[in-house]
Structure 1
Amino acid sequence: MLLALTACGGGGGGDEEPSEEESPAAAVAIAIAPEDGAVDVPTQGELAVTAEGGTLTEVTVAGPEGEEVAGELTEEADAWAPSEALANDTEYTVTAVGENGEGESETATATFTTVAADATFSSYWNIPDGSEVGVGMELSVTFDTAIENTAEVRDAIQITTDPPVEVRGHWFGNQRVDFRPEEYWEPGTEVEIRFRLRGVEGADGVFGTLREDVTFTVGRSQVSTVDAAAHTMEVVRDGEVLRTVPITAGAPGTETWNGKMVITEKHKETRMDGATVGFGGEYDIPDVPHAMRLSTSGTFVHGNYWASSATFGSDNVSHGCVGLEDRQGAGDPNTDAAWFYENSMIGDVVEVINSEDDVIAPDNGINGWNMDWADWGAGQ
C-alpha cells in the first residue's frame, strides 16, 4: 500500500520530466605569491597576483607607512605584477579583489616580509631637479660600489620624454651608466627620470636605496664649433650664427681634443693649477675668468687675460683649453669670453675640429656623443 501511494502521488503530472535548478557560477579564484606569512622574500621576481575563472578589479600592495607599490594588470586583467622592486626588510600587505562572469566579487589578502640587505649601494646623478639644460646634456649616474647586475640597474632608471624619443643607457665600467638619445635633444623636450633603484640587487646581497623622481627641460639649441686650425669659434643658436669669435687652442704637444664636448660646469672665476692635470708647476693661475668645463681631464673653454690680443685668432698657445680674450677680474662684459659665458648654459655643446689630437673619449666628461649609436648600449 505504501509503495502504491508513493508511485501515484503528484496528481496529473506523472509523465513530465522533473525540472533542474541552474548551478551557481563558480567564484573567481585569486592566488597571491608569496603566500601569507612568508619571510625573506626577494625584492624582485616573486610578487604576483593571478585570477582564475574571472578578472582582477583591484590590487593594492602597501608598506607599513601606507606607501603603495606601483604595478600593472595584464590586458586580460587576469594577472598583476609590480613595476618596481620592493624595499628590503619591509612588511607588505596585498589586497586583491576579483569578480567572476556574473559580477560576483571575491577578496584575498596576504602579508609577507622582504629579505634584508647585506649591504646597500648609493647612486649619484648630474642633473638637478627642475633644471633647464642645453641640447647636449646626458644623464650620468654613478655608484659607490661595483655593479654586477648592470641590466637590472640600468632598467631601474626609467626615462620618459615629451615629445617621445628613444633614450638608451651605456655603461662605462661597472660604476657609471650614461643615458642619451641618438641625436641631440630637441629644444623644449620635457624629460622625467624615475629612479627605481630601491630594492634592486646590484651585486650579490648589495641593494639600491634610491627611489626618486627628477625632471628637466631642454632649452634652446646652441652648438659652437671650434676650428683649431683657423683659430675661430662659430656659435650657432637654433640654426642661426650668433657670432664667430677668435680663439687660441692647444699648442703643439698639448693640443686640444677633437670631438663633441658638453659644458658641465660654469665658474665666473676659478683657479687652474697645472699640477692637478699632469703639468707639474708649469702654471698656477688663481683667477681664470669665465671658465666652463668640457672634460674630466681638465679641458675648459675660458677667458684668457695673460696672452696678447694678437694671439687670439692667430696662434695656439694653451695647454689644451680653448681660450677667449678676456680681462682680469671677469668684470668687463664686452670681452668675447664674457659674452660667451653669459650666452652659454650647462648642456651646451662645444665641438672641436681640425686639431692635431685624437677624438676625446666618450667618458671623459659627458661626451657620449662621440660614440656611434650602434655601439651605445651594445652588450649591456
Structure 2
Amino acid sequence: MEKRVRTDSKRRRRALAAASALLGGVLVLTACGGGDDDAAGNTDATKKSQADADAAAAKDASKARIAIQPKNGATNVGINSAASVTVADGTLTQVEMKTSEGAAVEGKISSDGKSWKPAGKLKRATKYVLAATAKDDAGREAHENASFTTVSEANSFIGSFTPEDGSTVGVGMPVSINFDKPIKDEKAVQAAIEVSSDSGQEVVGHWFNSQRLDFRPEDYWKGGSTVTLKMKLDGVEGAPGVYGVQERTATFTIGRNQVSTVDAKTHMMTITRDGKFYKKIPISAGSPENPTYNGQMVISEKFKETRMNGATVGFTDDDGKGEYDIKDVPHAMRLSTSGTFVHGNYWGADSVFGSANTSHGCVGLRDVKGAGDPNAPAAWFYNNSLIGDVVTVVNSPDKTIKPDNGLNGWNMSWTEWKAGSAV
C-alpha cells in the first residue's frame, strides 16, 4: 500500500513539472511576440515619416522635365545635329555647353524657351559637357547634366563631291562622290544621300567601288534644270565603327545642251546646241599607235594652260624620260582620269588638223602659243565649253573608255547602271 502511494506521488510531481514547463513556454512565446509588435510599430513610424518627407519634397519639386541628347556617356556622337536640349512642362533659362578643356560652345535657346542647340558644328574627337536649367510655371527650377564624346577622325568618313555647289555645268555632269574610307554598308550610306532634279527625271546611284558613288538620270540632264544633292550622313554607320559626319545640301544648274562628236576617221568635231547643229572644228586625234578612246566622255576639268609630261601617263623613252614634255599646253580640258584631253596644239603643222591623227591619244585643235588668240579653234571651243559638257569620240580603232575612267558612266546602259545601286 505504501509503495502505491509513493508511485502516485511521483506521478503528481511529474504532472506538475510538465504543466510548469508548458506555462513557462507560453510565457516565453508571449514575451517574444510582444517584442516583434514593438519593432513593427517603430518601422511603421519610420516609413510614415519618410513618406511625409517624400510628399513634401515632391510638392516642392519642379514639374519641368529636361531632356538632353545624346545620352550621358555617349560616344561616336555626330558633329552636326546630334546635340540638343528640350524641356516639357517648363521653359529653359540657361544652357551651358563646354569642351572638357573649358572652351565654351555658342548656342541659343529658342524663342519659346522649349529647346536649345549649338550654333555650329562640333569638333571631332572632343568631349563635351552640357548643363541645363529650366523653370516650371511656379518658378521652381530643374537641372540636368550630361557629357558625351564626338566621333574621331579615325572612326568617321566624309564624301567629297563634284560638281561644286552653285555652279553651272553641262548636261553630262554626274554627281560623283568619293569617300575617304571604304564603305561596307553601301545601302545605309546611299539611302542617306538624295539627288533630285526639278525636271522630274529619275536619278539613280551607282557604286563603282567601295569609295565611289555616282548619280545620274537615264539620259542627259534637261538643259536649264536645277539639281539638288542632299547628304544626311551624320551618324550613319558606313562601316563597323565608322560613322558619317556630313549634313550638307548643294545645288547646281544645268546649262544649255552642248554635245560635241569627234569623228576620228573624218578628223572633224561636230558641235550641237540643244539638239541642233552649231559648229564644226577640224581636229587631230590619236595616232594609229596611240588611238583615242571611243565613247561618251565628260569634261571634268579646264585649264587655260597646263603642263603635259608623257612620263606621267606611261609614255617614256629608253632613259625613262617622257616622250614629250610640253610646259604650256593651251586650252586643255580633261576627258579621263588616265590623261585624255581635248586641248590646243600650237606645235603641230596646221595641215594635220582635219586630215591626220598624230597625238598620243588626246584630241588636238589648232591653237597659237601663249593661248592669246581668241579666234583660234581651241580657244573658241574652250571659251564655249562648260565642265560637264559631253565629248563623244567615234570611229577610233581603240576600245570604248571604261565608265569609271573619269566621269564617264554614260557608257553603261541604264540597266547596267541601276544594277550598281545598293538601294
Normalising by the smaller structure, the TM-score range is: 0.7 to 0.9
2:288 is the alignment partner of 1:252: yes
2:76–2:151 contact (8 Å) kept in structure 1 = no
Query: Is the radius of gyration larger for structure 1 or structure 2?
Result: 2
Which one of the candidate residues 299, 318, 334 is aligned to 2:340? Answer: 299
1:138 pairs with 2:174: yes
Distance 1:262 1:36, change over 3 A: closer
Q: Who is 1:312 aligned against? A: 353
Counterparts of 2:326 and 2:313, CA distance in 1? 13
Q: Report Cα offsets for 1:334-379 as digits up to 9, x if no partner.
A: 1111111111111100000000011101110000000111111315
Greater helix share, structure number: 2
Q: 1:123 to 1:37 in 2, by over 3 A?
A: closer
TM-score by length of 2: 0.65
Please say if 1:65 is aligned against 2:118.
Answer: yes
Q: Aligned pair 1:117/2:170, yes or no?
A: no
> Where in structure 2 are the equivalents of 1:1-380 lying within 5 Å?
40=74, 64-65=117-118, 117=151, 119-280=155-316, 281-379=322-420, 380=422
Q: Deviations over 1:258-298 (max 9, x none)?
A: 00000111111111011111112200000111111000000
Provide, for residues 237-266 of structure 1, a one-character-per-residue CA deviation record: whole Å limited to 9, x for no partner: 112211111110000121100000001111
Q: 1:45-97 deviations in whole A, cap 9, x for unaligned?
A: xxxxxxxxxxxxxxxx9664279xxxxxxxxxxxxxxxxxxxx98899xxxxx
Retained in 2: the 8 A contact 1:261–1:295?
Answer: yes
Shift of 1:114: 7.9
Q: Distance in 2 between matches of 1:264 and 1:276?
A: 18
Deviation of 1:111 after TM superposition, in Å, equals 10
Q: How far does residue 160 in structure 1 lie from its aligned partner after superposition?
A: 2.3
Shift of 1:112: 8.9
Q: Does the aligned pair in 2 maintain the 1:129–1:214 contact within 8 Å?
A: yes
**Which structure 2 residue ranges, 5 or more long, are not aligned?**
1-66, 79-113, 121-125, 131-143, 317-321
Equivalenced residues, count: 300
Q: What SS does structure 2 have at the residue aligned with 1:347?
A: coil
| 2-structure distance, mates of 1:126, 1:134 | 13
The TM-score, its normalising length taken from structure 1, stands at: 0.72
CA contact (8 A) 2:177 2:212 kept: yes
The CA deviation string for residues 313-335 of structure 1, in whole angstroms up to 9 with x for no partner, is 11110000000111111001111
Distance 1:91 1:148 in 2: 32
Cα deviation, 1:198-219, whole Å, max 9, x if unaligned, reads 1111101111111111110101
Aligned counterparts of 2:116 and 2:314: Cα–Cα separation in 1: 52
Identity %: 54
Contact 1:201 1:208 in 2 (8 A): yes
Distance 1:321 1:36 in 2: 55
RMSD: 3.0
Distance in structure 2 (CA, Å) of the matches to 1:205 and 1:89 = 18
